[in-house]
Each structure stands twice: as C-alpha cells, then as structure tokens.
Amino acid sequence: MRTTWDIFCNVVDNYGDIGIAWRLARGLAGEHGLAVRLWVDDLHAFHRIWPAINPDAAEQSCEGVAVRAWRTPFAAAVPAQVVIDAFGCALPESYLAAMSERSPPPVWINLEYLSAEPWVAEHHGLPSPHPRLPLTRYFFFPGYTAETGGLLVEADLAGRRAAFVRAGTAAFWRRIGLDMPQANELRVSLFAYENPALPGLLDAWAADARPITCLVPEGRIIPQLAAWLAVADARAGEAYRRGALRLHILPFLNQDAYDHLLWACDLNFVRGEDSCVRAQWAARPLVWQAYPQPDEAHWDKLDALLAHYLEGLNQEAAHAVSGMWRHWNGMSDVDDMAACWAAWRAHQVAIEAHAANWCDRLGLAGRLTGKLVDFAENKIKCGVFSNS
C-alpha cells in the first residue's frame, strides 16, 4: 500500500507558497510514488503557475496529485498517514480532531521557509507537542547544509537542464518571439517586487557598451517599468528599446517554462524563495531580492545566503556580487547602481564560472523530497506517534 500524504497550503500572497507546495507534491507523487493530496485555499494563484489547474473545481487530479479546494467550513476527510502544513498554516480544527482520533496518529510535519542562517540546522527536526491533543508536530527546515532538510530539486533536473542548454534554447527563444542572442549580448530575466533601485538598474543597462535584452514576465514590477519607459502600461507581447537595452514583456509562464527562461538567460533577477532556488539550480548568475519582512529581517537572510554563496569566489568578484545583491535589497552601505553594475560586468566571467560551481556544490545539502520521505518513514517505523 502506498503511504498517504496530505499537504495543506494557505496562499498568503504571491506565488511562493503554492509554488513550493506544488513542486513538493509533484515530487512526492512522481518520484516517490506516494498517494498525495494537496489542499489549496487559492486555486486562482495555483492556476497562474500551473494553467492546467481548474480554479473552480473542488476536486481534480493533476500530475498524479489529488488536488482539493481547501474551503471553510472544511468538509470531513480521513487524514493521511503523513500530514504537512506548509509554512505553519493552521490546519482546520475538524481535521486536527480527526488526526488525533487516528491510531496511530499521522506523522505531522510543519514545512518551514528556507533560510541559509546557521540556526536552521539546530531547529531542523525538532518536535513540538500539541497543547491539547495527543499529536506531535515536527519542524522541517529546508536549508543549504547536510544537517538541514535540504533543497527542493528533482532527481533529473541537471540532465534536463543540460539537454535544454545543448539543444533547446533556439526553440525556446523562438517560442517567446526572440532570435538567438548576438555574440556579445546579455540576456537577463527580471522577476521582482516593486524596487526603488529599478530605475538606476535600467539606466545602467541602457548605458551599457554591449546589448542587453531583459525579459520580464508580467507581474508586480510592470507599473514601475512602465513609469521608467514613460508609457501608460506595458503588456505581454510588447517590446521597448532604450539605448543598449531591449525590454520584452512576457506572459506569466508556467512553472516549467519559467525554469527554461532561467536556464536560457545569462543572468536572472529573482525574488522570494522558490525562484531564488530555481535560479541557483540554473547554474547561472543571479541577483536575489529577498521577500521584504518587518524590521528588515530579510537582510539577515540575504547576508546569510551571500556568506554561503560567495565561498570560493575571488575577493573582487565576491564584492561585486554582494554589492549588486545588497543594493538591489536597499541595504545602504553600497555604491550607486551604476557602480554596482560596472563592477558586476567587470567580473562577469568569474561570476559565471562560480554560478556553475555553486550549482554542483548545492547537491551536498541533499534533496528535500527524499529527506522528507526518510524523515516521515522513520517516524512511522519507530512508531513515534505519541507526544511523549
């Protein structure tokens, strides 16, 4: 009998929550052969990253995953053997009660946000007894070291990416309406939150000595982009030229096509959590905009990832990368954008080589789906079901 898994995803905002929950569900079902049910409270957000999803269906099956609309009040459902609440979302009370009535109770795991901060390893796997019910919830922390829950990645990703880079880029560019890049051209993807540093970056690109093509999937950055272009709106399918810079607005892509964009570009501006990890697996240089948090808590996250990411890169190139990342995230101790961009350009070759090496090293953290399955199966085998 296949082990049954329930994943609960409450979409707080944006696409990271559902993006990660969907990637995880696909991996557990497709690679591990598990019976996975994914409960999502916002199927419209889901539909955006995976258009095959019907946003109005209470129940549907997609890619071997049973997808369920998570509605209030919550309809009675028999809990799975393993229950995951993604990012600490509160499970429905009736479902929790049903969990506590199961014998043995399910293995209950809270999948946390990813961080490169050192405390993550100490907290990974810790139990927390429920205050009332005979249930124990375990904290599962993704991370960049072997002591953590590792990173979301498919077993065949490196092979698929290599095949795409070898033979698939021309078709990809054609599909989105572009020619192959010129020899000295830089292709950049831009996925970002509103950002006061954007006009400075676009100015620097427009003034670059070599052509730059920037591909922008539709999203929150568009109004700011339109303002810089001095146009009323910018829509998918439109293209603009300012100096050395060509800007192409793309439709929002499905999750797999977005990977192709990351693999095809020379540099990727990414944000949040999932696109940041995908850009690292793309083995290309990236600039990360961390999800803004109160009291600038995201700056610690950014510096923690930089500290890992820059290991092994020569000092000047490392300075150029951290200058770009920190300036892009509003950290004040860095040069203006023109200087940051000039430094990045000056060290581009070293930065590109480093991105490929980093991607090889990332594997040392382990694959999150496999680690999660081992963790849950161990708990099932050991019969660690009570909250003692």
- Between CA 288 and CA 151 the distance in angstroms is 17
Q: Give the alpha-carbon dihedral of 193, 177, 175, 160, to 10 degrees.
A: -60
DSSP code for 180: P
User: Are 111 and 30 within 8 A, CB to CB?
Assistant: no
Q: Would you say 49 or 212 has its CB closer to ligand TRH?
A: 49
Quote the CA–CA distance of 236 and 242 in Å, as a whole number: 18
Taking the complex as a whole, the smallest distance from the CB of residue 100 to ligand TRH amounts, in Å, to: 29
Nearer to ligand TRH, 301 or 347 (CB): 301
In Å, what is the CA distance from 121 to each residue of 17, 116, 297? 22, 9, 19
Strands 59-62 and 65-69: antiparallel
Q: Smallest gap, in angstroms, from Cβ of residue 19 to ligand TRH?
A: 2
**d(Cα 32, Cα 155) in Å, to the nearest integer?**
11
Cβ nearer to ligand TRH, comparing 102 with 160? 160
Q: How far is CA 137 from CA 7, 52, 74, in A?
A: 14, 33, 21
Q: Whose Cβ is closer to ligand TRH: residue 195's or residue 255's?
A: 255
Minimum CB separation from ligand TRH for residue 170, in Å? 21
Least distance in Å: CB of 210 to ligand TRH?
Answer: 25
Q: 31 or 208, CB closer to ligand TRH?
A: 31
Query: Which H/E stretch holds residue 175?
Result: helix 169-175
Residue type, 348: Q
Cα dihedral value 81, 384, 8, 94, nearest 10: 80
Helix (H, G, I), strand (E, B) or coil at 62: strand
Contact between 323 and 302 under an 8 Å Cβ cutoff? The reply is no
**Two tokens, residue 189:** 């993807």
**Nearest CB to ligand TRH, comparing residues 42 and 81:** 42
- Least separation, in Å, of the C-beta of 264 and ligand TRH? 13
- What's the min distance (Å) between Cβ of 43 and ligand TRH? 15
SS3 328: helix
Radius of gyration (C-alpha) of the chain in whole angstroms = 22
Q: Which residues are annotated as catalytic?
A: 17, 273
Q: SS3 helix, strand, coil % of the chain, rounded to 5?
A: 40, 20, 40
What is the nearest approach in angstroms of ligand TRH to the Cβ of residue 243?
Answer: 25
Chain residues in the site for ligand TRH (CB under 6 A): 12-17, 19, 49, 113, 191, 217, 252-255, 258, 271-275, 291
Query: Which residue number places its CB atom closest to ligand TRH?
Result: 16
Task: Rank residues 80 and 234 by Cβ distance to ligand TRH and give the closer one.
Answer: 234
Distance CA(203)–CA(228), nearest Å, equals 9
Q: Which residues, 6+ apart, have CB-to-CB distance to 335 below 8 Å? A: 323, 327, 343
